[in-house]
Amino acid sequence: MLEGGGGLEAGWETDRMGAPAKTSPAATPADDAAFIAALKAGDERAFERLVRDQGIRLLALARRMMRDEATAQDCLQDAFLSVHRSIAGFEPHGSLGGWLHRITVNACLMRLRTAKRLAETPIDDLLPDFNGNGLRLGEPRTEIRDPETELEVNRVRRFVREKIDELPDGYRIVLLLRDIEGYSTREAAEMMGIAEGALKVRLHRARAALKTLVEPLWDEMGSS
């Protein structure tokens, strides 16, 4: 089955063989014209190479989005099935890596939508409060400072990670798309299937809620 590529001797086959793939798309031959041509021609070794090289960072993406390993792996399978079906029509005006990233996000969103996990649930108790005159209520919290030691860096990361996962999916995913995966408001709104204004509101709520959730750590760590 893996011999389907026949005598194709493109550069992508030889120059990177044996080199361990890293998560950076730059470490793969993903944008090499010969490699893309091989993929489009249905070369099976090229496809397997794509799965092995790009699959690492795409699986990490699916894990971030889905929060559990089994579903993340299902999403990666969905994504590569989409890739297989649509690679012939791939127009390289963007990067192949970016295209794959988008396909994987969409595969994850599809599963989240099907599982009704993208709804906007109320999180009012995590949002700031104002009085009738528009004045902010509540006492100021301990000042959030940068972690100073490696121990603190790890502690902050662990805590923040935990709290991101406590956000309802409808907010968490918007936060991921905008602040982590680097999509614009317009792109993220399109992917989520909501208006740009609605996306901005959700992002604001997600960030504000995360702030509320992580602040107690600085009460413990102190504000130096």
Task: Tell me which residues touch other proteins (CB under 8 A).
Answer: 1, 20-23, 44, 47-48, 51-52, 55-57, 59-60, 63-64, 73-74, 76-78, 80-81, 84-85, 128, 130-131, 133-137, 140-141, 143-144, 146, 156-157, 160-161, 164, 175-176, 179-180, 200, 203-204, 207-208, 210-211, 214-215
Coil, strand or helix at 192: helix
CB 29 within 8 A of CB 12: yes
Q: Least distance in Å: CB of 49 to other proteins? A: 11
Structure tokens at 195: 């208006």
Q: Restricting to residues 104-163, which ones interact with Zn ion according to CB under 5 A? A: 136
The Cβ of residue 39 has, within 10 Å, a number of other Cβ atoms equal to 22
Contact 88, 36 (CB under 8 A): no
Interaction partner, residue 80 (Zn ion, other proteins, none; CB < 5-8 Å by kind) = other proteins
Q: How many residues bind Zn ion (CB under 5 A)?
A: 1
- Between residues 93 and 133, which has the closer beta carbon with respect to other proteins? 133
Distance from C-alpha of 20 to C-alpha of 28, rounded to nearest angstrom:
10
Nearer to other proteins, 36 or 59 (CB): 59
Max Cα distance, the chain (Å): 75
Residue with the closest Cβ to Zn ion? 136
* Partner that binds at residue 1, options Zn ion, other proteins, none, CB closer than 5 to 8 Å by kind: other proteins
Structure token pair of residue 89? 């029509």
| Beta carbon nearer to Zn ion, 93 or 136 | 136
Query: Could you tell which of Zn ion, other proteins, none binds residue 121, using a CB distance below 5 to 8 A set by kind?
Result: none
Comparing CB distances to Zn ion, the nearer of 121 and 133 is 133
Residue closer to other proteins, measured from CB, 93 or 206: 206
Distances (CA, A) of 155 to 151, 160, 189, 207, 217: 6, 8, 33, 20, 9
Residue 172 binds which entry of Zn ion, other proteins, none, CB below 5-8 Å type-dependent? none
200 is written with which tokens? 């901005």
* 3-state SS track over 107-148: HHHHHHHHCCCCCCCCCHHHCCCECCCCCECCCCCCCCCCCC
**With respect to other proteins, which residue has the nearer C-beta, 64 or 102?**
64
Q: Which one of Zn ion, other proteins, none interacts with residue 186, CB within 5 to 8 A by kind?
A: none
- The angle, 0 to 180 degrees and rounded to 10, between the axes of the packed helices 196-221 and 185-192 is 100
Which residues are near Zn ion by CB under 5 A? 136
